[in-house]
Every structure is written in C-alpha cells, then in structure tokens.
Amino acid sequence: MSKATDVDEYLAQAPEERRDVLTAVRDLCRSELAGFEEVMAHGMPLYRRPGAAEGEVAFASQQRHISFYLLRRDVWDAFADRLAGHDTGKGCLRFSRPEKVDTELLRDLLRATAATDGPVC
C-alpha cells in the first residue's frame, strides 16, 4: 500500500515499467469522470462525486497486477459479457502486465459510471 499523499506522488513512486499505463489510466479517469474528485484513499488513487463519502473508481499498482476497481454493481453487471474474459475479483479488474490493460474497456466503464448515479456497492 502506497503512502503517497497525492496521485502525482503515487505515479512518481510506481515501478517505471508501469508508470506510463498508470498515467494513461489516470488520464482516462480525469477525462471521463469530469467533476469527480481525485483523492488518495486506501493507498491508491480514488475517484468520487463531490461531497460523496464513497468512491466509485480506483486503480492501483499491486505486486502482481495493475488493478482497476469499479465500485458500482450496476455498471459491473451491465458489462458482464465484456468482463467475462478478464481476470476479475469482487469489483476488481486485474491486468498481469501493463500491455494487457484494456483502455477501451476502461473508457467504456468510466463513461457508464459517469452517466449513472445509483448506489455504490
């Protein structure tokens, strides 16, 4: 778990071979989640609606994976077919190597998240 105090510091501390893809994921989050707050929580970048206590999206460079957390069950369920071929956990999409990060899928998930305002799981 990172002890970074902001996302710039988090990215600067990320392994060099992952830094570009993590920056690309951040850029996607910032562009597709317009109006969301970007904060550090639980040692990773997290995106939440202004004033919300809970985040809806987060990402992390972990020991064996680059993880993308989608904390909206409604969006997760709507993309079940596209997520089926990926390594997933409870609300988590894992990529074993930077080149495997599916930015097109992430963009679509982010757009769906921004377009809905249902409960966060």
Average pLDDT over residues 42-68: 94
What is the domain partition of the chain in residue ranges?
7-115
- Confidence band, pLDDT 50/70/90 cuts, at residue 35: very high
Q: Which CATH fold would you assign to the domain 7-115?
A: Aspartate Aminotransferase, domain 1 (3.90.1150)
| Helix-strand-coil split of the chain, %, nearest 5 | 40, 20, 35
pTM for the full model?
0.93
- Residue pair 9/39 in contact (Cβ under 8 Å)? The answer is no
Which tokens belong to 42?
């639980």
Sign of CA dihedral 106, 9, 50, 60: positive
Which tokens belong to 61?
């460079």
